[in-house]
Structure 1
Amino acid sequence: MTLACGLDFGTSNSTLGRVAADGHPLLVALEGEHQTMPSVLFFGFEDNRTYFGRAAVAEYVTGAEGRLMRSLKSVLGTALFADTTRIKGRRLGFGEIIGIYVAELKRRAEARLGAELTQVVMGRPVQFVDDDPVADRTAQDQLEAAVRAQGFAEIAFQFEPIAAALDYERQVSGEKLALIVDLGGGTSDFSLVRVSPDRAGKADRSGDILATAGVHIGGTDFDRLLAMSRVMPELGLGSRTRDGKRHLPVAPYYDLSTWHRINRLYDAQAIRDLRSTMREAVETERVETMVMLVEDRLGHRLVGAVEAAKIDLSDRDRTAFAFPVREREISTAITVGELGEALEQSVRRLETTIAETLQRAGVVAGDVDSLILTGGSTLVPAVAGRLQAMFKGAEVVRTDVLGSVGLGLAIEARRIFGD
């Protein structure tokens, strides 16, 4: 027996959904009883094993020697996709690494379901790459090739915010104009959709989608911006060379703050360049701490600590950031206000993109009945509060922030493939 499913391969987390025999969509448990699996791999060098999801993060945090891979979706459609990563004696391309992750996710789901999965509706952002239709198409093709190589014979795609609308539509009793705000790990997508029980069964919903827009901003960007604003200055960002003629180069700090670029700093030449920068720097000790951090391959762990600080600021006004590097410590305090300042330009871009979405549909904010928030980044108050302020008269609906897209994709898979 073969089955159809919906697969939400996310920048931060992934889910796989199926419509049950009773007609209700459900998410398949992928890691123990967890229905989400972090989109993370860890290639262990000591035992030659590959770890996935929470197990990958746990293995990495213990200090095991190996290579952590995260935010893989962010490289689709970019020049980075052509790069390779050394895993002991071999080099793997990003398409192969994505395939390894999808294959494991598929294997786990099939073990739970007791049947082979051969048909899939994949979620995709409205734009993989901003304002570049060729790169956007390339990104979808790259993802499709990686998924097809794992045994999915029939593959369809649906916009992630539309999938979230399909999940929400199960709850409505009358017609509503809904703005779906999907703030994920790598992209933010917005869709104006008419939803109602009567429309739910239609095969063609294209007429109900009034407008869509997206921008390549997400949770990993928020982490990078917070790191650049509050943590990288502790490592010398913004300081000058001893001759006072120039600031230290920004690129290494940007790479250290960006998940999918961190591995570039572990190159022998990159480390030599950092040591050269250290010798030129006024704040030698700060840059020396950065060199130590890179030498010890603590980059991903550092950004993980920044992400934890961002999450901590969802519940409090201030958090203390402390990160050990050998006998030293990177320490600073971060406030909600400083997080808001770090994200200000990105939030403005989100607001501008929403305004463009409304303009394309020929509606104003007051016409929107429901503001549907999905995706993990909607939990950041500095972001969600600003977006909610744009739609003061709308009902704010918080879906399953990590699962609604997977559920909607399952509904779409049932519509397209049956079963």
Structure 2
Amino acid sequence: MSIGFDFGTANCCVAHLVNGKAVPIPLVGENVYLPSTLCAPNAESVSEYLFRCLNIQPSDETNQAVLRRAIKLNREEGLDVIADDVKFGHQALELYLQDPKDVYFVKSPKSFLGAMGLRDMQLSFFEDLVCAMMSNIKTRAEAAIEKEFSQTVIGRPVNFLGRGGEASNIQAVDILTRAAKRAGFKEIEFQYEPVAAGLDFENTLTTDKKVLVVDIGGGTTDCSMIQMGPTWRGKLDRKDSLLAHTGQMVGGNDLDIFIAFKCLMTEFGLGTKLKSGLDLPLIQFWNSVAINDVQAQRSFYAHDNLPTLRQFHMDAMEPEKLNRLVKLHQETLGHGVIHQAEMAKIAMSDQETFTTLIDLVSETFNVPTSRAGIDAAIENPMNKIRSLVQEAVTQSGIEPDVIYMTGGSSRSRALTSAVASVLPNTEIISGNYFGSVTAGLTHWADLIYR
């Protein structure tokens, strides 16, 4: 039996076909969406959890080496990994927020896929992370409807990471494929996420149209210019209808990061000076919240960065603010700041101001934010999204009859306005912000596996 699998940057969702309709499968109670988060006692416990608790074997010699190292380190720490040690979704975030210093927390591992310059051991660990999340979702879905799934179509962005080009895409798809096989899927295919969303929208069309699908997700924005409608519906060969694809790693996570950086990090010393009159280096503030950049996070949270931060604290004109940056490092609280930035972003959809609550364990304080301030903070990612829309139009050589916007981040009033500014005379239709990709993947799975 097949499912459509939206392994999203922000949330994961799966669906199966029931009487010709894509029906999402509940993953937690009645909730069909599971946040893409994982929390464990330490990073090494993830690999041992797969082997010891789920009986999932390593995929190759490098993966075996990752497992051996994990078991060795866990024994040295006196840690016996049990199934309940690894949490997913909201449970993972709650555990992290309760005790951020003493747990390993990862949000959106999909954001790391395609990162270049990493060692084989690091890539194998990413595979373990993805496998743990996929296995958890597959198990939950099968328990919910009491059926086993062996076939899946997994959504993928047009480009995982722009810096690595096609090499990044190949690496990312390889990791996803190996992880899915280890999680128990026998047959695995991929489909571009904007194409999947378009396939769902196509079911509503009574005439053929040229549609620009703009999918703004948690980690990436993808645009596809597609000819769709009754002429194309149900066809397995769609290559002549796919006119252009553009995509870049810019999405909801980037909005959260820019909001955190420009609106919240001022309370941690951003924009202040040292007693010498020099500015504090921006990179320390950026790296602390750049949760989708492996190297940035490693650089900020490295043990040898702490003396540097403490020296800045001693030399700062406003040491009380720099002390917060030191605490952020010591308590590994970057994800907590990003969570507050996300809350502010969501609130600005229907209100003008919002007060974020920053909890540093040793200190709790409020930071007021405004719609104008947040709109200014996200101008950089908005410009990137405008460029992707324009590039899709240029590549295809046509203008669309309609723009179909989907993806959780497309709910943002500012982002809708940004897309509209490129094609001001084109109708914009908003779809199922979270479910259209999953539905399209499910219909495509039924078509190719029937």
**SS of equivalent to 1:93:** helix
Match of 1:182 in 2: 215
**SS of equivalent to 2:149:** strand
Q: Alpha-carbon deviations, 1:330-380, whole Å to 9, x = none? A: 43322211111111122112111211111111113xxx2221111111111
Any residues of structure 2 matched to 1:180-329 within 5 Å, and which? 180-244=213-277, 246-260=278-292, 261=294, 262=297, 265-326=300-361, 328-329=363-364
**Larger proportion of strand:** 1
1:105 Cα offset (Å): 0.5
**SS of equivalent to 1:147:** helix
The partner residue of 2:439 within 396, 407, 415 is 407
Match of 1:343 in 2: 378
- Structure 2 Cα separation of the partners of residues 268 and 92 of structure 1: 24
Aligned residue type for 2:7: F
1:24 Cα offset (Å): 1.2
- Which one is further off, 284-293 or 327-336? 327-336
Match of 1:68 in 2: 105
Aligned residue type for 1:34: N
Q: Is the 8 A contact 1:234 1:286 kept in 2?
A: yes
Match of 1:114 in 2: 146
Change (3 A) 1:92 1:242: farther
- Structure 2 Cα separation of the partners of residues 99 and 356 of structure 1: 34
- Structure 1 Cα separation of the partners of residues 261 and 144 of structure 2: 42
- Structure 1 Cα separation of the partners of residues 96 and 342 of structure 2: 16
- Structure 1 Cα separation of the partners of residues 401 and 375 of structure 2: 27
Q: How many residues align?
A: 406
**SS of equivalent to 1:146:** helix
- Structure 2 Cα separation of the partners of residues 80 and 374 of structure 1: 32
Match of 2:39 in 1: 42
Q: Is the 8 A contact 1:163 1:409 kept in 2?
A: yes
**SS of equivalent to 1:17:** strand
1:408 Cα offset (Å): 0.5
Match of 2:48 in 1: none
- Structure 2 Cα separation of the partners of residues 295 and 236 of structure 1: 16
Unaligned runs of 5+ in 2: 43-78
Aligned residue type for 1:52: F
**Larger proportion of helix:** 2
Q: Is the 8 A contact 1:29 1:35 kept in 2?
A: yes
- Structure 2 Cα separation of the partners of residues 325 and 57 of structure 1: 16
Q: Is the 8 A contact 1:82 1:94 kept in 2?
A: no
The partner residue of 2:9 within 8, 11, 17 is 11
**SS of equivalent to 1:348:** helix
- Structure 1 Cα separation of the partners of residues 275 and 325 of structure 2: 18
Q: Is the 8 A contact 1:339 1:382 kept in 2?
A: no
TM-score scaled to structure 2, two decimals?
0.85
Aligned residue type for 1:68: F
Q: Alpha-carbon deviations, 1:94-139, whole Å to 9, x = none? A: 2211110111001111112322211111110011111611122212
Change (3 A) 1:60 1:92: farther
**SS of equivalent to 2:343:** helix
Q: Is the 8 A contact 1:175 1:197 kept in 2?
A: yes
Aligned residue type for 1:343: I
1:84 Cα offset (Å): 7.4
Match of 2:89 in 1: 53
- Structure 2 Cα separation of the partners of residues 280 and 147 of structure 1: 50
- Which one is further off, 25-34 or 180-189? 25-34
**SS of equivalent to 2:40:** strand
- Structure 2 Cα separation of the partners of residues 348 and 207 of structure 1: 30
Aligned residue type for 2:352: D
TM-score scaled to structure 1, two decimals?
0.91
Change (3 A) 1:328 1:80: farther
**SS of equivalent to 2:162:** coil
Q: Is the 8 A contact 2:213 2:405 kept in 1?
A: yes
- Structure 1 Cα separation of the partners of residues 193 and 230 of structure 2: 20
Percent identity reads: 30
- Structure 1 Cα separation of the partners of residues 2 and 356 of structure 2: 45
Q: Is the 8 A contact 1:240 1:247 kept in 2?
A: yes
Q: Alpha-carbon deviations, 1:179-230, whole Å to 9, x = none? A: 1110011100001111112311111011111111011101111111111111
